[in-house]
Structure 1
Amino acid sequence: MKQLLLALALLAVAKAYSQEVILEKAIPKDFEVNQIFQINDNRSEDVVLFFHGNDSIKSYLFQDDLSLKDSTTLTSLPPRYRSFIGSQFTDDSRCQLFFSTERRPFPEQPNLTNGFSSKPKFGLIIFSFLSKENTVKELELSLTKEMYLESFSSENGFIIMTIKKKSDILNFYCFDNSGKYEKVTVDCEDLTFRDWDSSKTALYDLLAIKQVAAPDIKQLTFIDTKVPYSIKSTSSLSKLYKEGNKLTFMFDVNKDYTQVLTIDIQTWEKKLSGLLKPKVESNAVGYSRKSNSFLYNGYFFGLTHLANQIKLEIKDYTTRRLVQSYLIKNNSPIEIKDSPIIIMDGPYVDYREVEKTSQFFRKLKDYNIGISVRKYKNLGYQLNIGGSIPEGQVRIPLSSSLPASNYNINPYDFGASNFAFTQTVGGRMTFIKCLFDSNFDNISGQTIESPFEKIRYYMDGKKRIASKFVLPYKNYLLLSTLTKQNHYSLIKFIK
């Protein structure tokens, strides 16, 4: 019966999401590929594919119909710059690629601990397909007392964002078309940030995970709302959303309310506000209160779990008006779920489906809770509600007043879609899928799978894959794969 259900599921996937291999290429075996990555030129919808070797980078330009347009070989940065963190296209048709120092230890990098650099360095490659010339720069950014948080493109150019350690000071390094940067400091010391028990804390402590005998690492997850995220990603207690020139940080460390810090990266104005979390009361002992939130399409989705109850509240983010509220109780049917309870016990492991609400609550007792939201056809929204213990978890309190939790670690992300894919296929998660109309009334229907889950089905059994990368493009996804024998494939997944 289980095999039959799996076969039916795979058949449904094949019908809903066909794939097409649009490029296959044999890379010379003497060219050792360390990583592959792709970028979009949003102005022309061209796609650029990169094979990063030890001393050079082979790059290929595809036009909007994904036919090969041009290619060139770039001189690469020194070997320690192995983490691609972003790119931007300049007005004169040049492309800038930004890298940070490698995450695994090198002899010349003694400060790398547990795979993360306490003093990251940054490098830049500027090139043009027209001139076939490229420039390599090691950037003189001294971050000895700063923690790297995130990087992104904006109207101001490419921005590297950091925070000064043990402080409320954010720094933004804004790069122009020539690769020169201007440092902008946003001092938040006049704002008051709160810990679990509402005691005053530094902004740094909301963004960093403290480690014993090792450098602190960030706990900020960048959310691109055009990308469907798994519970493993959204169980992070600190999230960053970017819409136009507005950055929105949401912190769920405090037990009573979500702290919201907004920064306009055009005017550099800042504002701190809060949204009350759903209230759940219980006399049960041995349980800690857990909460999280998600921001999507102008709505705030708040979730609180305590003992045998989970409460979901949906509010208008601008007015703070309560739109809908739902309560889930243990040992009672979950009225709002439109799927079985899904239990994923590890990366690339077949998931289990159960129906007993008690099994859902039993799993969540030891998990971080989270919620993710996406559009559901043209009818409304699909919410995934559940919890996760991420792979490589760190189990440590932010302070003596905050209960120990499992934090999602993703310090150097290159591409929201690629990160969301890696988070979908790995980790231990438990969740339900719930469908709502545009007024957030629960509706019945066939839930939709994440496109990354569909790629996961395609990848099952392909053990020779050495490297992969996922990129959104128009109304489909591009999957790049490279085998251990240096055979490259570009697969287009059409919805």
Structure 2
Amino acid sequence: MRKVVILIGLWCVVFSSVAQEKVLELGEVFDKKRSNKECYALPNQLNKNLVLLFEEGKQFYAQLVDQDYQEVSKVNAKTIPSKYRYILGYNIIGNRYSIFFSNSQNTKFGVQTFNFDTNISENTLLDFKIKGEKYVESIVHNNKIHLITITRKTSDLNIYTFDHNFKPTKHVVSLKDMEYPNPKNRNHTITAYYLLLSIAGDRSRSIIDIEKIEGSNPNVIETTSKENKLYQLDNQLIFSFDYDHKKTQLCFIDLEKFSAEVKSYDKPSKTEEGYSKSNSYIFDNKLFQIASSNQKMKFTVLDLETEKIIKEYKVTKADSITFKNSPIIQEGGGMFPSFSENRVREMEKTSKYLRKISSSNLGISVYKVDDEYNVVLGGTKEIITNSGFGINGFGSGLGFGGTIDNGIWLSFNPTFYNYNTYTTTKSTYINCLFDSNFNHIKGDIGKNSYDILFEFEDGLNDDIKAVNIFLHQNKLHYGFFDPNKKTYELFSFNR
């Protein structure tokens, strides 16, 4: 037993040194006994500096650290007025960090600036309104916020870029090439505005519905099963639309030239009858598409550079699924079994799997572990609860840009949002493993970065506060306030 304990201890030391590293420990970030404490991260995309913004009550404490996590400067300030509670993004000029906020309706906008050279914070309420437009999303590119709207009833995207005085420059990007006649109504044209409004077929509430994808991390089926997705890849934005059952439409937007290119890619249901659901996912410059019914399923991998199909796999309800590396799993949470506190079931029959995913929101998720692709194929259903929705106290603190149905905004930090998306859905899926040519590989699925985070989190005390998970310097970071030590600790993880 003693040898076993020693071996376990050595394994933990080795695992800790490889998987994680404590990069920062801060004292005196919170000085009150309030239970609501939050932390937000603002990574500098150009010089690898980082600002950690701590919120407690109506007070902000902002700490600037350099690329080696050495403390540079700090600013204490009151929070921006309470009606501006939703973070959209930020601008960075030198050591001046300006965070953009809005009210819940996106009709009023404000900026809180933290100047780490003068240690002063200032609030600016913007005389900026979006008339005849609806807010879509916001992104940070080269340390500048880009606020995206769409002109009502059109396919014109408006991208507002703000200068150091918070004056916007408007760039109109037309997606008119993606329009097509509505097959259900000859007098109506499908526009980008129509596709972005709520869930297809139910647009009475006039809510923009789009999922912001962070492709560097695993994404759960609950996220990737959405019809409208937005990817930010280097200097490019990609809007993907999967409303049409027979094609995926991709709109590529150059963030330097503010020009657009629209392309359409046939789904498996285009060339073969008998599929009732379809969707797609972009990863590693490849388009993954899936189509299913209660009779069969097919998924394909297309190279976006050559626009040629690399591989396709098909299964019918009478077949066994020879390309899966896990049982058919049904659970009450997300696609990562360790995340779910609900009962997990395993199925044997392909027919049950096809029936479950084809009566759900169909989706694909893809990520790489070393040089191997883990592809998750499945479907998810939202579970209606009476308890509402909340993640780690988000409802009591600031909000994050990107609406969901109940008004909480979360996609300012899609990494954190995706990690926590597992409690309000019921998913059925399989895990598949492929080599670089998408030939099936037998064997177990390796741990992904979220698995490692979960194991780390499981070893922490239950009373930690102000948890934040984010990407910085191409590494995942996990930060938390330890109320016993009264310190904020930040760890980085090799991905």
Give the TM-score range, shorter chain.
Answer: 0.7 to 0.9
Say which of 99, 102, 117 aligns to 2:101.
Answer: 99
Flag the 1:327–1:228 CA change in 2: closer, same or farther, 3 A: same
Residue 51 in 1 paired to residue 80 in 2? no
Who is 2:435 aligned against? Answer: 437
Give how far 1:326 is off. 0.2
Q: 5 Å matches for 1:113-152?
A: 117=105, 119-152=106-139
Secondary structure of the residue that 1:209 maps to in structure 2? Answer: coil
Give how far 1:79 is off. 0.8
Provide the alpha-carbon RMSD of the alignment. 3.4
Who is 1:62 aligned against? Answer: 65
Who is 1:208 aligned against? Answer: 197
Code of the residue aligned with 1:93 in structure 2: it is N
Give how far 1:46 is off. 2.2
Residue 387 in 1 paired to residue 390 in 2? no
Give how far 1:289 is off. 1.0
d(CA) in 2 for partners of 1:375 and 1:412? 25
Give how far 1:291 is off. 0.6
d(CA) in 2 for partners of 1:83 and 1:374? 30
d(CA) in 2 for partners of 1:238 and 1:474? 28
Secondary structure of the residue that 2:268 maps to in structure 1? Answer: coil
* More divergent stretch after superposition (351-360 vs 322-331): 351-360
User: Residue 229 of structure 1 contacts residue 420 of structure 1 at CA under 8 Å; is this kept in 2?
Assistant: yes
Who is 1:251 aligned against? Answer: 241
Who is 2:493 aligned against? Answer: 494
* More divergent stretch after superposition (13-22 vs 470-479): 13-22
Who is 1:263 aligned against? Answer: 253
Who is 2:341 aligned against? Answer: 349
Who is 2:368 aligned against? Answer: 375
Who is 2:400 aligned against? Answer: none
Give how far 1:282 is off. 6.2
Who is 1:219 aligned against? Answer: 209
Residue 480 in 1 paired to residue 479 in 2? yes
Who is 1:23 aligned against? Answer: 25
d(CA) in 1 for partners of 2:248 and 2:177? 19
Give how far 1:299 is off. 1.3
Code of the residue aligned with 2:249 in structure 1: it is Q
d(CA) in 1 for partners of 2:489 and 2:291? 42
Residue 297 in 1 paired to residue 281 in 2? no
d(CA) in 1 for partners of 2:223 and 2:429? 13
User: Residue 480 of structure 1 contacts residue 488 of structure 1 at CA under 8 Å; is this kept in 2?
Assistant: no
Give how far 1:130 is off. 1.4
Give how far 1:274 is off. 0.3
User: Residue 97 of structure 1 contacts residue 125 of structure 1 at CA under 8 Å; is this kept in 2?
Assistant: yes
Who is 1:396 aligned against? Answer: none
Deviations 1:135-158 (A, max 9, x none): 211222223532211111225932
Who is 2:172 aligned against? Answer: 185
Code of the residue aligned with 1:369 in structure 2: it is L
Deviations 1:132-184 (A, max 9, x none): 12221122222353221111122593210011223222111111123221122
Flag the 1:307–1:363 CA change in 2: closer, same or farther, 3 A: closer
Flag the 1:99–1:255 CA change in 2: closer, same or farther, 3 A: same
User: Residue 294 of structure 1 contacts residue 301 of structure 1 at CA under 8 Å; is this kept in 2?
Assistant: yes
Flag the 1:13–1:238 CA change in 2: closer, same or farther, 3 A: farther
Who is 1:164 aligned against? Answer: 151
Give 5+ residue unaligned stretches, structure 2.
1-7, 335-339, 386-402
Who is 1:272 aligned against? Answer: 262
Who is 2:398 aligned against? Answer: none
User: Residue 150 of structure 1 contacts residue 412 of structure 1 at CA under 8 Å; is this kept in 2?
Assistant: no
d(CA) in 2 for partners of 1:64 and 1:187? 39
Code of the residue aligned with 1:62 in structure 2: it is V
Who is 1:234 aligned against? Answer: 224
Who is 2:359 aligned against? Answer: 366
Give how far 1:316 is off. 1.5
Q: Would you say how many aligned residue pairs link Structure 1 and Structure 2?
A: 452
Flag the 1:253–1:268 CA change in 2: closer, same or farther, 3 A: same
Code of the residue aligned with 1:271 in structure 2: it is E
Q: Percent of aligned pairs with the same residue?
A: 24
Secondary structure of the residue that 2:421 maps to in structure 1? Answer: helix
Code of the residue aligned with 1:349 in structure 2: it is E
* More divergent stretch after superposition (477-486 vs 197-206): 477-486
Give how far 1:490 is off. 2.7
Code of the residue aligned with 2:449 in structure 1: it is P
Flag the 1:465–1:33 CA change in 2: closer, same or farther, 3 A: same
Report the TM-score when normalising by structure 2: 0.81
Give how far 1:387 is off. 1.3
Report the TM-score when normalising by structure 1: 0.81
Who is 2:391 aligned against? Answer: none
